[in-house]
Amino acid sequence: MTTDSSHASPLAPEWLALPEDLNALQSPMWAAGVEKNDAGEVAIDGISVKELKEQFGTPLFVMSESDFRSRARAFKDAFDAAFADICGGVDVYYAGKSFLCTAVASWVAEEGLRLDTCSGGELAVAARAGIEGRNLGLHGNNKSDAEINRALDMHVGRIVVDSLDELERVAKIASSRGETAKVMLRLTPGVHAHTHEFIATAHEDQKFGLSMAEDSTEEAGLSAAEEAVAAATSYSSIELLGLHCHIGSQIFEPDGFAVAGEKLLRFLSAMQSKYSIVLPELDLGGGYGIAYTPVDTPRPPAEIAQAMAAVVRSTCAELGIAAPRISIEPGRAIVGSTTFTLYEVGTLKTVRVDAPGGDAEQENVTYPRRYVSVDGGMSDNARPVLYDADYSAILASRSSTAAPQLSRVVGKHCESGDIVVRDVYLPADVAAGDLLAVPGTGAYCWALSSNYNYLARPGVVAVRDGAARLIVRGETEEDLLNRDMGVANV
Ligand SMILES: *Cc1c(COP(=O)(O)O)cnc(C)c1O
């Protein structure tokens, strides 16, 4: 096909290159097992998107179970290998908030991972999936008493305490039950990782965690983090397992994890000496980045693991302490790329847009941007609206030899910000009834989905060994009306 550079649009962002082949699936955005079949359709494990649409409708989340399992295992294996001689391996907690249902929870357990939850509802999913309490963690900056009680009922392996206030509440509740709560303290090390850089600040201005800044409490010289360590060791109903931090999300460079890890180890060592305690565990959180567009370059788990292991090894040696047991909490990096969203194209329109940059000579020059509307939108993917997130898309139901045209894939909601893919080249002959596939929608899409405009939330299909099955069914009109108490009820 032609990819004449004259088809490149000046409206496209700098990072978006004209693809060499509009019909090709660009790795690493796609799950293993997704390919173009002989008919030119996107297929997963041999099942074409047309078959999926016929059986399950659109929009639809289409997930590769085998890809999920192998990504989960890859993290576990890579970190176990890198940390084997440091602390005997790593506990990997899958961050359930990225996407959770009972099937996924059971895969996580079967692959030897643990599960991170952050609400009573997520604990309920874990319970229904039969996950053992000792393999669960509970997060959250505002856990209710009911959630703390539920965690204790389920004997969760760790409650990650977020504040001094909460520490006291957990201690009281555990004490009133005559039990001991296993607790980690979530600290904010002042390290913030962004996609391509990290910044370090002394003070934290966010709702999560206990500040490590030395003037973060009224009592001069004592950080909130240290005050919490001191308090935790004084409560007989608290067993302090160790420290935790989570520096951000969609991070590619391992430097931020390394800086935070070193800072927490120094603090851990200081606390062990000062309070004559042993803090046997250290959690370095999640946040590993994935490819949403062709320019994203995620690191293999082994590379991240080795960078983190090097810092833990050298810092512990320098401090002369035994390394704590390390744990991590990847969500997006396990589930994100396992899934694509399948949409059907409806309305199309092309607008003319002024040349970018306000070039005087080009004053009267305009360029076309085509709006391609699909049958979902911000209700099944809120990330573009929430975070300005970029995605990619491909014509999935056929191949095309048409020229590339700069397109914007939008949803069907009453909101002009309802964008699914802000900028993508699609074949110029995309028409109503075509199917589009958007890769990288496994994390924080279904999880953040809504019923805005009374759209039914899509189902999730898992494909394995050439068979597709629903792991979460899509909503029906009856579901949408289920909670409405009706006019007769006033
Ligand atoms: C969100 C979150 C994670 C997972 O983040 P990912 O970017 O999905 O890896 C891990 N730990 C904590 C505490 C979180 O809040």
Prediction pTM value: 0.96
186 is in an annotated binding site: no
Confidence of residue 204 (pLDDT cuts 50, 70, 90): confident
End-to-end CA distance of the chain: 63
Residue to probe by mutation, ligand 1, list 187, 282, 329, most atoms within 8 Å of CB: 329
Helices (H), 88-136: 102-110, 120-128
Q: For tokens 């890769």, what's the residue?
A: 439
- Does the Cβ of 331 fall within 6 Å of ligand 1? yes
Q: Is the CB of 287 under 6 A from ligand 1?
A: yes
| pLDDT, tens digit, 9 for 90 and up, residues 106-143 | 999 999 999 999 999 999 999 999 999 999 999 999 99
Residue 245 bears catalytic tag: no
Ligand 1 pocket member 246 (CB < 6 A): yes
The answer on pLDDT for 456 being more than 50 is yes
Mean pLDDT of 363-392: 95
52 phi and psi angles, rounded to 5 deg: -65, -45
Percent of the chain with pLDDT over 70: 96
For residue 140, the model assigns a pLDDT of 97
- Which domains are assigned to the chain? 5-65+337-482 (2.40.37.10), 89-330 (3.20.20.10)
What is the structure's pLDDT at 200? Answer: 76
Q: Do residues 262 and 308 lie in contact, with contact meaning Cβ atoms separated by under 8 Å? A: no
pLDDT surpasses 50 at 233: yes
371 is in an annotated binding site: no
Spot the catalytic one: 87, 316, 414, 445: 414
Query: For the residues 361-366, what does the mean pLDDT come to?
Result: 75
Q: How many CB atoms lie within 10 A of CB 480?
A: 14
What span, in angstroms and rounded, lies between the C-alpha atoms of 28 and 23? Answer: 15
Q: State the pLDDT at residue 358.
A: 63
Is the confidence at residue 2, as pLDDT, over 70?
A: no
Query: Cα separation of 330 and 230, whole Å?
Result: 29
Q: Which atom of ligand 1 is nearest to the CA of 244?
A: 13
Per-residue model confidence (pLDDT) at position 51: 98
Beta strand segments in 307-443, E: 325-328, 339-354, 366-374, 394-395, 404-410, 419-427, 435-439
> What pairing do the DSSP bridges indicate for beta strands 366-374 and 158-161?
unpaired
- How do residues 382-430 score in pLDDT, each as one tens digit? 999 999 999 999 999 999 999 999 999 999 999 999 999 999 999 999 9
Does the annotation place 477 within a ligand binding site? no
DSSP reduced 3-state for 350: strand
